[in-house]
Every structure is written in C-alpha cells, then in structure tokens.
Amino acid sequence: MSASSFPVIAIDGPTASGKGTVAHRVAERLGFHYLDSGALYRLTALSALRSGTPLADEHALSKLASGLHCSFSGDKIMLANDNVTNAIRAEEVGNTASKIASLPTVRQALYGLQLSFRKPPGLVADGRDMGSVIFPQASLKVFLTASPEARAERRYKQLIDKGFSANMEDLLKDLWERDARDTNRAISPLKPAEGAHLLDTSAMTADQAVEQVLQWYAELKKH
Ligand code: DC
C-alpha cells in the first residue's frame, strides 16, 4: 500500500485556536500518527535564532529547514541532541516561525518531511495549509477558529504553564500581527481549505471539539 492510501485528517486554524490539543487527542483516540507542522517551522526558526542566521537570508534559512535533524516521540521534540520541547514554544520563536513561513523555499524545504508523517494506520495533521496544500486529498478537513480573546487567554495559560512570563496585552497584539501575516502572505495563506468543516471553539472545551471531529470522521466512514 502506498503512503497516499492511508487516511489523513487535516486540522488547520490560526495560532492558539486549540488545534494542537484537539489534533493530538483525535490522533490518540484513533491510534493515528500526529503531525504538528507548526513545530517544523518553529524548529527552523529556533535553528536560525541560535545560529544567528539573518531572517533576510532565504537561501540559508531554506538550508536550515531541509537539514533539520529533529525527532518526535510522544510530547518530546528533539533538535539534534537537544530537548527543545519547551524552547520552541517561546513567543520569539513563534513570531520568527511566522516570518520565515512566508518564504516559498522554506515551505518547499519542509514539504517532503511533512508528507513522510503519513503512515499506517493514518495521520492527524495540524497547521495552516494541511488541507489546502500538503494533504489536499485528506479524508476530513477541519478549520478550527476561536475569538482572538479566547485564543490570547489560551496562549497565556500555555506560556505560564511552561514557565514563561506573559502579558495579555502583548499577547493579543502578537496574535493580531501573526494572524495578519499568516493570512495575507502570498504562498499557502491561512484560510479554510475547500470542503473544510468550520469549528468555532470559543465557547467549547477541547473535549467537545474532539468529539465533534470524531463524529465528522465517523459519519464520513459510514459512506
Ligand atoms: O501553529 P504554530 O503557532 O506552532 O505555528 C507557528 C508558525 O508557523 C505560524 O505562525 C505560521 C507557521 N506555520 C505555517 O506557516 N504553516 C503551517 N502548516 C504551520 C505553521
């Protein structure tokens, strides 16, 4: 069986929409693999920050992206021999990731790596362009959103839990800027894929969102 015959559930959405938590739990419930594509952009950003690579040097950045030595096991993310699970969640890394994600050659450099996560029995992939560009034949496409205030609150909690300092006003500002950059970029902009189910999670718990996605998937398998 070729990799392209294993089912993919694509969950896209803006930053801090809860898609990571939802995608992770859906993958667990189905026994599927999980791809956090944002982590790949964050790993590239962290490599660039650590090596002092200028953000204007697209060629050097795409080389960093194509040469990423990273591994994922459970919740742990390694960059070479370094455990960077928490380090890649820093706001500076997220903002840098959003900037370099607008570079076509960086996106191209990460394309094959993302496809390689599609393995039996299936994959849940979360990001911005999972349903539109990377896995356009995904069995199920979901676009998760939440109000900026709900997302800023979630990001605040996430950062505090990970031991970072955070300030709501700065977070909201960052979020607006990041949304604008991710939505308005020329290549693979953040937008619902054709045929995507829209899910606004502002007033939902993560578990309720997980149940909704599983229900959509179960309905699809009936046909
Ligand atoms: O989902 P996240 O916040 O961890 O992603 C970090 C940045 O990476 C995000 O601001 C935009 C970029 N990204 C992207 O352009 N395409 C993806 N599929 C995933 C993330």
Q: Is 41 in the pocket of ligand 1 (CB under 6 A)?
A: yes
197-200 β-sheet, strand order: 33-36, 123-127, 8-12, 140-145, 197-200
**Ligand 1 center–CA 48 separation, angstroms:** 16
CA dist 20 and 183 (Å) reads 18
Amino acid identity of 49? L
Q: Which residues in the chain show pLDDT less than 50? A: none
Which atom of ligand 1 approaches the CA of 98 most closely? 10
Distance between Cα 81 and ligand 1 center (Å): 23
pTM of the model: 0.92
- Contact (CB, 8 A) for 193 and 131: yes
Give rounded-to-5 percent helix, strand, coil for the chain.
50, 15, 30
**What is the model's pLDDT at position 62?**
98
Q: Which of 8, 21, 41 to mutate to test the pocket of ligand 1 (most atoms within 8 A of CB)?
A: 41
**17 CB less than 6 Å from ligand 1?**
no
Superfamily in which the 3-222 domain is placed by CATH: P-loop containing nucleotide triphosphate hydrolases (3.40.50.300)
Whose CA is closest to atom 3 on ligand 1?
15
Determine the Cα–Cα distance for residues 41 and 166; give it in Å rounded to an integer: 22
**pLDDT digits over 118-141, tens only?**
999 999 999 999 999 999 999 999
So what's the pLDDT on residue 2?
Answer: 73
- Measured between alpha carbons, how far is 63 from 98 in angstroms, rounded to an integer? 17
d(C-alpha 82, C-alpha 12), whole Å: 28
